[in-house]
């Protein structure tokens, strides 16, 4: 989010900007730990609009921003196993189509044809959008950063924000581990740590960190042998398959499979060590949907943090009553893919331009008013 805002400010001619990152490298927070998934298929219209704009930029990233991002548009396949979910998706698909997104309804056998090796027992319907896909989060972050730097924006790594001074209701400076920066504008792009930055200006930002795991499996034993007669029965393409009922998802990653699932027993916290006991809960679900995983070994695993708001919708825009303080937080597990549009919108707001779309679903004050519609297609 930080590099996207910087890039879009630079495009608007605003280069008197410092991006402050406490880590030694960019993208060591949530961005460096995500699954790279990019999709149009959301239930909230505002999210679909963010996707349409963001995917357009991902498709032309090399020409427009100057970096390759390994974007494979092999589609997202949602598997639905209850009438209730089918009904909810019916409404989402109708809205997505109204916005011009091509989404198809598939039968379970059609879904299996798209994702060889998939077992579809209990699945009653599936949705598929062929322009959804997987991209490289590192490439996107570095692409935005390089282009912003080339335009004159400064990026300070190893630099932690310690405090923010507000005088007479206005932001005046940021105290960092490398000194004080006087500025009338501050953007909070601290991902799962957004609430801590908000506390510095006396604002409660309702973003909670939740640990999420990713596992990489490789074929084992006989099927990993070059002359094996048993095949590793998994998709060849990078199609992303999501079992909506269990939240189990997978996609091809090199010769292996990347998979994950949300853990309903996880409490908020900043711990990102791998909880191997959780893998025990994932395996039965994983093997049921993709039986080839029974012949696989988990080669790698890592955990990162989702940055979750109460309605799973992001906060993009100014803070009420603190002039100059802006937020781009709380993307609830889909921030990588929405970073192009979200950064563009925030840059427009900072410049006093119209964001060109209805941004009330992203306003901070929805929490004060108790308003707002939740995003339900979150995994
Ligand atoms: C396992 C997993 C899978 C995911 N899968 C997907 C997916 O498929 N698709 C998708 O779109 N999204 C996915 N996400 C979500 C996505 O990763 C996040 O929404 C997104 O990366 C948020 O970006 P960000 O820039 O806001 O946060 P971050 O990338 O966390 O960046 C915030 C930065 O702020 C820095 N920072 C914090 N506090 C300070 C401070 N005081 N001073 C200086 N610097 C500070 C941190 O070091 C960090 O680098 C996934 C997340 C996880 C954990």
Q: What is the CATH classification number for the domain harbouring 86? A: 3.30.9.10
Whole-number Å distance, alpha carbon 31 to ligand 1 midpoint, is 4
Residue of 333, 339, 342, 343 to test ligand 1 pocket, by largest number of atoms within 8 Å of CB: 333
Identify the domain containing residue 98 by its residue range.
76-130+209-308
Q: Identify whether residues 348 and 238 lie together within a single domain.
A: no
Q: Using CA atoms, how far apart are residues 202 and 141, in angstroms rounded to an integer?
A: 30
Number of independent structural domains in the chain: 2
SS3 label, residue 242: strand
Within a domain: residue 243?
yes
Q: Which helix (H) or strand (E) holds 335?
A: helix 335-350
Whole-number Å distance, alpha carbon 218 to ligand 1 midpoint, is 27
pLDDT, mean over the chain: 96
User: Among 308, 324, 349, which residue terminates a domain?
Assistant: 308
> Cβ distance 6 to 153 under 8 Å?
yes
pLDDT band with cut points at 50, 70 and 90 for residue 126: very high
Within a domain: residue 97?
yes
Q: Identify whether residues 13 and 92 lie together within a single domain.
A: no
Mean pLDDT of the 343-352 span: 98
Flag the least confident range among 5-9, 253-257, 310-314. 253-257
Contacts of 240 (CB under 8 A, 6+ apart): 35, 37, 39, 74, 75, 76, 77, 132, 133, 134, 249, 250, 251
Whole-number Å distance, alpha carbon 300 to ligand 1 midpoint, is 20
pLDDT of residue 223: 59
> Cβ distance 124 to 86 under 8 Å?
yes
Ligand 1 touching residue 138 (CB < 6 A): no
> Cβ distance 215 to 293 under 8 Å?
no
Q: Using CA atoms, how far apart are residues 106 and 125, in angstroms rounded to an integer?
A: 6
Backbone CA torsion sign across 32, 37, 43, 48: positive
Q: Identify whether residues 213 and 126 lie together within a single domain.
A: yes
Ligand 1 touching residue 133 (CB < 6 A): no
Ligand 1 touching residue 336 (CB < 6 A): yes
> Cβ distance 129 to 41 under 8 Å?
yes
The residue whose two tokens read 């990347």 is 258
Within a domain: residue 379?
no
Whether the per-residue pLDDT at 338 is higher than 90: the answer is yes
Phi-psi region of 73 (alpha: psi -120 to 50; beta: other; left: phi over 0): beta
pLDDT of residue 220: 84
> Cβ distance 128 to 77 under 8 Å?
yes
Q: Which helix (H) or strand (E) holds 286?
A: helix 276-289
Q: Using CA atoms, how far apart are residues 49 and 53, in angstroms rounded to an integer?
A: 6
Q: Identify whether residues 152 and 120 lie together within a single domain.
A: no
- Give the pLDDT confidence of 195-233 residue by residue, as tens digits: 999 999 999 999 999 999 999 999 987 555 666 656 789
- Nearest atom, ligand 1, residue 32 CA: 29
Nearest CA to ligand 1 atom 3: 34
Ligand 1 touching residue 191 (CB < 6 A): yes
Q: Using CA atoms, how far apart are residues 310 and 46, in angstroms rounded to an integer?
A: 16
Backbone CA torsion sign across 89, 92, 98, 99: negative
Within a domain: residue 185?
no
326: its two tokens: 């802006």
Share of the chain above pLDDT 70, in %: 97
> Cβ distance 342 to 56 under 8 Å?
no
pLDDT band with cut points at 50, 70 and 90 for residue 150: very high
Nearest CA to ligand 1 atom 52: 34
Whole-number Å distance, alpha carbon 291 to ligand 1 midpoint, is 32
Q: Identify whether residues 256 and 336 lie together within a single domain.
A: no
Q: Identify whether residues 296 and 351 lie together within a single domain.
A: no
289: its two tokens: 């949907």
Q: Using CA atoms, how far apart are residues 360 and 373, in angstroms rounded to an integer?
A: 11
Within a domain: residue 186?
no
User: Among 308, 324, 345, which residue terminates a domain?
Assistant: 308
Q: Using CA atoms, how far apart are residues 211 and 302, in angstroms rounded to an integer?
A: 10
Q: Across 273-331, where does the E strand assignment appear?
A: 296-308, 315-318, 325-329
- Give the pLDDT confidence of 79-91 residue by residue, as tens digits: 999 999 999 999 9
Q: Using CA atoms, how far apart are residues 57 and 49, in angstroms rounded to an integer?
A: 13
Whole-number Å distance, alpha carbon 134 to ligand 1 midpoint, is 17
- Give the pLDDT confidence of 18-74 residue by residue, as tens digits: 999 999 999 999 999 999 999 999 999 999 999 999 999 999 999 999 999 999 999
Whether the per-residue pLDDT at 353 is higher than 70: the answer is yes
324: its two tokens: 């100059």
pLDDT band with cut points at 50, 70 and 90 for residue 17: very high
Within a domain: residue 191?
no
Mean pLDDT of the 121-131 span: 98
pLDDT of residue 231: 76
83: its two tokens: 């009438």
Q: Identify whether residues 10 and 154 lie together within a single domain.
A: yes
Q: Identify whether residues 122 and 227 lie together within a single domain.
A: yes
Within a domain: residue 264?
yes
Q: Identify whether residues 302 and 214 lie together within a single domain.
A: yes
């Amino acid at each position: 989010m930080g590099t996207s805002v910087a890039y879009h400010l630079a495009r608007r001619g605003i280069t008197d900007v410092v991006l402050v990152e406490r880590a030694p490298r960019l993208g060591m927070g949530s961005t460096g730990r995500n699954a790279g998934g990019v999709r149009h298929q959301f239930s909230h219209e505002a999210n679909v609009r963010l996707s349409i704009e963001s995917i357009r930029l991902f498709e032309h990233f090399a020409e427009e921003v100057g970096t390759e991002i390994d974007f494979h548009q092999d589609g997202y396949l949602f598997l639905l196993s209850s009438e209730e979910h089918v009904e909810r998706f019916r409404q989402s698909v109708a809205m997505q189509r109204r916005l011009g997104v091509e989404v198809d309804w598939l039968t379970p056998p059609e879904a299996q044809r798209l994702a060889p090796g998939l077992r579809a027992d209990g699945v009653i319907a599936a949705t598929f959008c062929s322009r959804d896909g997987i991209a490289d989060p590192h490439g996107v972050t570095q692409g935005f950063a390089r282009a912003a730097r080339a335009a004159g924006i400064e990026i300070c790594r190893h630099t932690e924000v310690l405090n923010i001074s507000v005088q007479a209701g206005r932001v005046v400076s940021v105290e960092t581990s490398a000194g004080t920066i006087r500025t009338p504008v501050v953007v909070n792009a601290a991902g799962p740590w957004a609430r801590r930055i908000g506390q510095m200006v006396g604002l409660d930002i309702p973003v909670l960190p939740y640990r999420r795991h990713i596992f990489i499996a490789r074929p084992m034993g006989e099927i990993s042998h070059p002359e094996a007669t048993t095949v590793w029965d998994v998709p060849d393409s990078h199609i992303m398959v999501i079992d909506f009922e269990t939240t189990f998802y997978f996609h091809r990653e090199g010769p292996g499979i990347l998979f994950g699932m949300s853990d309903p027993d996880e409490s908020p916290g900043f711990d990102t060590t791998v909880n191997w006991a959780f893998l025990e809960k994932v395996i039965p679900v994983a093997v049921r949907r993709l039986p080839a995983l029974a012949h696989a070994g988990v080669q790698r695993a890592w955990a990162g943090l989702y940055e979750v708001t109460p309605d799973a919708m992001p906060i993009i825009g100014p803070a009420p009553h603190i002039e100059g303080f802006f937020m781009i937080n709380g993307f609830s597990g889909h921030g990588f893919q929405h970073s192009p549009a979200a950064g563009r919108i925030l840059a427009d707001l900072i410049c006093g331009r119209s964001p060109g779309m209805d941004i009330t679903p992203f306003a901070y004050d929805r929490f004060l008013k108790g308003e707002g519609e939740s995003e339900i297609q979150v995994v």
